[in-house]
Structure 1
């Protein structure tokens, strides 16, 4: 054991930088995996906790005032029913902020879908104008218990008694109205009713919805929402961040394992004589293997423990969503298990790759085998001989020859170095895609910046004239959006009519063509997946009793409503259903206009009759991903440095036996140094080319696959610019050559006696 420790200590002193980089890389990998675990827990558990504590309804069905939802209590598979509750759609304003809400009349705390009070208290008959706001809506309105809300255009005022968490779909400006609970007396003129169904089998949701619609009649159902939709919306971007961190963490772990495997293999080739001496003095093959295995397990264990300790102690202090996720995750039941399991898994993986490489050391014979007389570089290839005949610099020719003459070993070195570079290209593509979404929203389905709803008062013509009078409003597209039942009546989708045939809405198409003819429409990826249809198919849906039959001629990029959107012109919808009139305007602003400034100006000009809000950019929820990408690139750079140090060390050691021959040929130490530097640069260049060639299409595929899974659809991926890739490749090659210059120069200036002893 004493001799083992002395050998390990000597080897550590020789490879300090490599050991440090391995510890740091392991720490970064384990931290990425722990943060991914935290984000997955943060994405799923809070909603699940609220749903369980509130005994959430699996289905919420909105019906007209004349429907008879009482029939739903007798449906097979329905455990209990919430409601029916009278509801009215209205707008609330507080401190200059407005929000479109659903006012729900509730007399007492319901047993199903019970709101969980987070501040204040529940409704009190002693305060008839009191309301309880859903938590996200309360944050949007900057309202809390004791505040007063107004209904624009009326003299009514409501008093906030409390805020509550709900497992129903949460407030999203312009997409999902906020939920407000009030006494039934505060909903004197309901425009519908809502009923919640809690099922005995949650997996039977689609069939339960279909039976409920059949019992009530399709014309009586205006909207259906399910617990799966609410859960997916609650998880939102947190799950995406977790997937990114997990994917890169696993990729980096594989790259680190391969780098360690290559480092040990190169070290064994460089110390064959020393290993033979160890065996000659009594070391068993198992002891030799344990020397390498325990040393690298110690490095990995040190990095894993450091990552776990830092994540546990400082993770909740990370600014933004990551810190919130870690704080919530630390209070979940599985936190302690994950805190030990993730680092242990990473250490075991590195130990497995280390063991495979160290096993070769145990097979080294105790008697040194004489080295072959042929030079390590092998015979010059025909290309190399012709290059020398053309009087190209010998150092460049011999360096290139040295880099690629041993094909299996050379290809392995290139592959190990190319993997972290490939992951860096994928990370840069993620950054470029976020920039595209943030800076060019018109390319990802957001050609307009503002949505305007009119709350009565001015006529359509007056509203449009008011909007177009603003100097920074370029175009105002009239439109309408309604909920429509899909074929099979299992869920509802968003049916939009925007623009006219004379002034069509500028949809962002990823496939097909614009909807220019009668009954033509474009659809989001989420709708295509939901209905299992493709571009070119016809689909039938119903709005109340009125059917809408549309021909899908294109796929649009739809960042809203999980892509479950079908869009056509306002003319087409009104031709099929004259009861559908324009209810909103989508505004495209002049270049450089500030949406918030324009929104405030239009709201003031509308005298309280216009509800104006800015479009929600998906990039707003992905701001935390930028910091994640920077951290991942740093971890991958450390892994690349490990592989570069391995390649440089192997090139220097294998070049020692050629040193005498090269000096006999008349090459100076500078030229000999250039051979090793060139060999390292050629290896790095090959890895850059492979990493870039494979990383760019892989990044597009991964980002588009995520787009399809989220319902937005493929076509949002944006790769790094050619200039950035060129700078990245140049920096990698120059960095590799600069890193190789010092050890190569030292080796080239060794004394002849040292060289003879090394190759003897």
Structure 2
């Protein structure tokens, strides 16, 4: 053991640079994996993130407006309640903007919202006394009203007429979000502003949010609250489980993608670390032979390298945890925000311990394999002359030199690809991070294009209009058609349907008529025939999976106790209800119920028209009697997801840089004898540096071309498969533009060239005696 420690100490003093690189490589890889974990926790469960950031309430108790506030205050003293917010006075009203209208629960709030269930302002600012008629809108409500900070919202004002509230900000909360026709969104105003809003007595109320010591005790807390206030005093109860279930139902696709990226990052990091260790062990073959010659057994050799590299791994992992703990929150953009929030999320401590432990364990396994090979090295080094020489220079290379092609370019090409096995391994390991980055860019492009490209993969219509206040469907259709930006108007209705053997309901939708069929965008099969007698329909992937159907099958549904038999002739991309939607013609549904009337209209706009501007014009033309909403896109959280994808690309770039530095180090070491020969034939240090830089650049270029090409193909397949698994359906994948891919290839190649400049210069300045000693 003493001899082992002495050799390890001597080796550390002799090869300080290699040891430092291995520690830093481990640090970079562990940081990358921890960042990937933080980004996964940040984006895969956005509801949990918001709940943690806002210190959300587990239970919301809605009471009547005439309930005694003292009784509501007593809810704070219930067993198991650790904190509370409220009681807050509320008023359920209908708010309007120039573009839309929606049901709103106006809630009185102070300029300081308090520590519990504190809304998180994502745009704009919170309420202040300087703007007494200001309002902060829940994010889903703001989308329904198409409102941004600075816009005005009109609310009932009693005898003085409607009042206008200025939108000061938009906030995220862990409460259940706005849902058109089902649940109002929340708008926060100062108490004085709420006093100036008029609402019927039965629409006035109070609300209290309770934070519990045990989140699973919501049922008990609700029972105690109902007992205290009386059954007649409680109008509504909601808990965190309901809010989480609704929020997570729309994030399955993004969750699947993030899991895939996490596994890919883990694989890339593992290969990077294994490559660094194998390169270092391969560079110590002469030292290993000397150890064998002086009496070290194979087991001792294995133990030397294992202990040494595990110690390096432990040091690198500890350094990574320390750096991320102290500086992680200071990273710019989504990465810093994700790390700051990750610290407060559940299972953070477990992940912080598990990721470095797994990295150290893997490094130990990789070292064991490399050290086992080292233990088999013979005591007498094999003479270099006995090693089969590299392939001679090809005829094309000799011809290129004869035509005065720069020697650095010709010799760099030969150095990069002469040893095919090692060259292919280096290209493959460098290509993996670039492949994953290309997949991330594909996901970014899909999120960016699908929601905004009506007709390409999503619904053909851009807007949905619903008539209110006595406006019949014919008048609504006429008002919509009169707008010059509207190219088509299709009547529609949605009803709940029960499938055979199912206890839940699915969404049955009627769109268009036989005379004017809806232009379905079908990704599999065909569109329904414009004839009510055919009973044809299209469905989302989620419905097909739920009922175990395929395109071409028949399905029997039950609507209000009456059968509805449909022939599924096509599949469409459905981003709502998890894809559990079946759509047919309105006339087909009218065969079952002749009295059926349209409940809304889908509006198709001319290319380039601004949906918000058209919605505002339609709302003004109808005197506010039309509720205008934008047809749902792929995911409401896509802005957050784009930031997370950018962060994952940075993590993968860090892993790729580690792999690149390992490749450069291995290339310089493997070409030491060649460098000696190049100096002997008269190449200048600058030309020798050019050979190394060219070899690295060509390897990186080959890896970039391979990674982007395969990444484009894998990205399309992966996103479509995840779309199928999430219920949205295949056919949503979009590839990055050619310009973006070329920029990625150029950036990766230029980065590799830049990273190789310093090692190349150092190798070119080495004295021939040093190089000769290293290769003998």
TM-score, length basis structure 1: 0.73
Alignment CA distance shift 1:574-1:693 (3 Å): same
1:758 equivalent in structure 2: 774
Distance of 1:752 and 1:592 partners within structure 2? 68
Question: CA contact under 8 A between 2:334 and 2:644: conserved in structure 1?
Answer: no
Instruction: Compare 447-456 and 237-246 and name the one that shifted more.
Output: 237-246
Residues in 2 aligned to 1:620 and 1:463: alpha-carbon distance in whole angstroms: 28
> 1:558 Cα deviation (Å)?
0.9
* Change over 3 Å in CA distance of 1:262–1:316 after alignment to 2: closer
Cα distance, 1:712–1:175 mapped onto 2, change above 3 Å: farther
Shift of 1:714: 0.6
Deviation at 1:563, TM superposition (A): 0.9
Q: Following the alignment from structure 2 to structure 1, what is the Cα–Cα distance between the partners of residues 154 and 474? A: 33
Query: Residue 401 of structure 1 aligns with which residue?
Result: 414
Decide which of 99, 103, 112 is 2:102's aligned counterpart: 99
Mean Cα displacement is larger for which, 1-10 or 403-412? Answer: 1-10
The residue aligned with 1:614 is 630
Of residues 542, 546, 562, the one that matches 1:530 is 546
Structure 2 match to 1:346: 359
Could you tell me how far 1:716 is from its partner in structure 2? 0.6
Q: Tell me, what secondary structure is at the counterpart of 2:563?
A: strand
- Out of 265, 273, 279, the position equivalent to 1:266 is 279
Going from structure 1 to structure 2, the CA distance change for 1:620 and 1:319 (only over 3 Å counts) comes to: farther
Counterpart-to-counterpart distance in 2, 1:421 and 1:136? 35
Q: Deviations over 1:279-305 (max 9, x none)?
A: 667874112332233213322332144
Measure, in 2, the Cα distance between the counterparts of 1:751 and 1:50: 67
Do 2:334 and 2:647's aligned partners in 1 also have CA atoms closer than 8 Å? no
Tell me the distance in 1 between the aligned counterparts of 2:597 and 2:678. Answer: 87
Q: Mark the CA change 1:756 to 1:613 in structure 2 (over 3 Å): closer, same or farther.
A: closer
| 2:763 is the counterpart of 1:747 | yes
Task: Tell me: CA distance 1:751–1:167, structure 2 relative to 1, closer, same or farther (3 Å).
Answer: closer
Q: Shift in Å at residue 319 of structure 1?
A: 9.4
- Deviation larger for 366-375 or 443-452: 366-375
Which of 569, 572, 576 is the matching residue for 1:560?
Answer: 576
Q: How big is the shift at 1:52?
A: 9.6
- Give the SS at the match of 2:456: helix
Residue in structure 2 matched with residue 29 of structure 1 by the alignment: 33
After TM superposition, list the pairs within 5 Å mapping 1:114-153 onto structure 2: none
Q: CA deviation at 1:101?
A: 9.7
CA positional deviation for 1:718: 0.7
Alpha-carbon distance, 1:728 to partner: 1.7
Matched, 1:454 2:467: yes
| Mapped partners of 1:351, 1:176: distance in 2 | 56
Matches within 5 A, 1:620-639: 620-639=636-655
Task: Specify whether residues 350 and 241 from structure 1 end up closer, same or farther in structure 2 by C-alpha distance, changes over 3 A only.
Answer: farther
Residues 618-659 of structure 1, C-alpha deviations (whole Å, 9 max, x = no match): 343111122212222222222222222222222222222123
Partner of 1:303: 320
> Does the 8 Å CA contact 1:36/1:243 hold for their aligned counterparts?
no
Which runs of 5 or more residues in structure 1 are unaligned?
Answer: 56-90, 103-116, 120-133, 156-164, 188-226
Alignment-derived partner of residue 700 in structure 1: 716
Residue 376 to residue 264, structure 1, CA distance change in 2 (3 Å): farther
From the superposition, tell whether residues 308 and 360 of structure 1 become closer, same or farther in structure 2 (CA, over 3 Å): farther
Partner of 2:442: 429
Aligned partners of 1:321, 1:602: CA distance in 2, in Å? 40
Distance in 1 of aligned mates of 2:659 and 2:42:
30
Aligned: 1:677 with 2:678: no
Report the Cα distance in structure 2 between the residues aligned to 1:618 and 1:175, rounded to whole angstroms: 21
CA contact (8 A) 2:556 2:565 kept: yes
Cα distance change, pair 149–738 in 1 and its aligned pair in 2 (3 A): closer
Deviation at 1:513, TM superposition (A): 1.3
How far off its partner does 1:546 sit?
2.8
The counterpart of 2:12, out of the listed 8, 15, 18, is 8
Q: Deviations over 1:55-90 (max 9, x none)?
A: 9xxxxxxxxxxxxxxxxxxxxxxxxxxxxxxxxxxx
Q: Tell me which moved more, 601-610 or 495-504.
A: 601-610
Q: Match for residue 254 of structure 1?
A: 267
Q: Per-residue CA shift, 1:236-293, capped at 9, x if unaligned?
A: 4555555444432332222122112212222222332344446667874112332233
Shift of 1:543: 1.5
Change (3 A) 1:704 1:398: same
Distance 1:655 1:140, change over 3 A: closer
Alpha-carbon separation, structure 1, partners of 2:662 and 2:630 = 53
User: Any residues of structure 2 matched to 1:18-57 within 5 Å, and which?
Assistant: 19-37=23-41
| Structure 1 residue 542: Cα displacement | 2.0
- 1:514 aligned to 2:539? no
**Deviations 1:365-388 (CA, angstroms, capped at 9, x unpaired):** 555443235575344567767877
- What is residue 661 of structure 1 aligned with on the other side? 677
Contact 1:92 1:98 in 2 (8 A): no
Return the offset for 1:432: 1.2
Q: TM-score, normalised by structure 2?
A: 0.71
State the SS of the aligned residue for 2:629: strand
8 Å CA contact 2:541, 2:572 repeated in 1: yes
Instruction: Note the 1:169-248 alignment, pairs <5 A.
Output: 173-174=179-180, 177-178=183-184, 233-236=246-249, 240-248=253-261
Residue 53 of structure 1: CA displacement?
Answer: 7.0
> Secondary structure at 1:712's aligned position in 2?
coil
- The alpha-carbon distance between structure 1 residues 510 and 328, as it changes in their structure 2 partners (threshold 3 A), is farther
Deviations 1:446-476 (A, max 9, x none): 3322211112513322221122223333322
Q: Provide the rounded CA distance (Å) in 2 between the counterparts of 1:150 and 1:35.
A: 43
Q: CA deviation at 1:177?
A: 4.8
Distance 1:571 1:369, change over 3 A: same
C-alpha distance in 1 between matches for 2:745 and 2:140: 48
| 1:569 counterpart residue number | 585
Deviation string 1:8-58 (CA, Å, 9 cap, x unpaired) is 355343575665454233212212114424655665799999999799xxx
**Per-residue deviation at 1:664?**
4.7
- Unaligned runs of at least 5 residues, structure 2: 62-91, 106-115, 119-136, 146-152, 162-171, 187-200, 204-239
Q: CA RMSD in A?
A: 4.4
Between 451-460 and 1-10, report the one with greater CA deviation.
1-10
**CA gap 1:552/1:731 in 2 versus in 1, 3 angstroms:** same
Q: Cα–Cα, structure 1 residues 11 and 502, in superposed 2: closer, same or farther, change >3 Å?
A: farther
Matches for 1:349-368 after TM superposition, within 5 Å: 349-365=362-378, 367-368=380-381
Alpha-carbon shift at residue 575 of structure 1 (Å): 3.0
Matched residue of 1:542: which SS? strand
Contact 1:35–1:322 at 8 Å: present in 2 too?
yes
Within a 5 Å distance, the mapping from 1:593-608 to structure 2 comes to: 593-608=609-624
Contact 2:39/2:647 (8 A) holds in 1: no
Q: Shift of residue 524 of structure 1? A: 0.8
Secondary structure of 1:505's counterpart equals coil
Deviates more, 1:739-748 or 1:425-434: 739-748
The answer (yes or no) to whether the contact 1:39–1:239 under 8 Å persists in 2 is no
What is the CA–CA distance in structure 1 between the aligned matches of 2:385 and 2:261, rounded to whole Å?
43
Tell me: CA distance 1:140–1:386, structure 2 relative to 1, closer, same or farther (3 Å).
closer
Is the 8 Å Cα contact of residues 33 and 245 (structure 1) preserved in structure 2?
A: no
Cα distance in structure 2, aligned partners of 1:318 and 1:656: 44
Residues 674 and 616 (structure 1), Cα distance of their counterparts in 2 relative to 1, 3 Å cut: same
Deviation for aligned residue 1:557: 0.6
How far did residue 582 of structure 1 move? Answer: 1.0
Cα 1:186–1:538 shift into 2, 3 Å = farther
1:474 to 463, 471, 487: 487
Q: 1:504 aligned to 2:517?
A: yes
Per the alignment, residue 688 of structure 1 pairs with 704
Change (3 A) 1:696 1:734: same
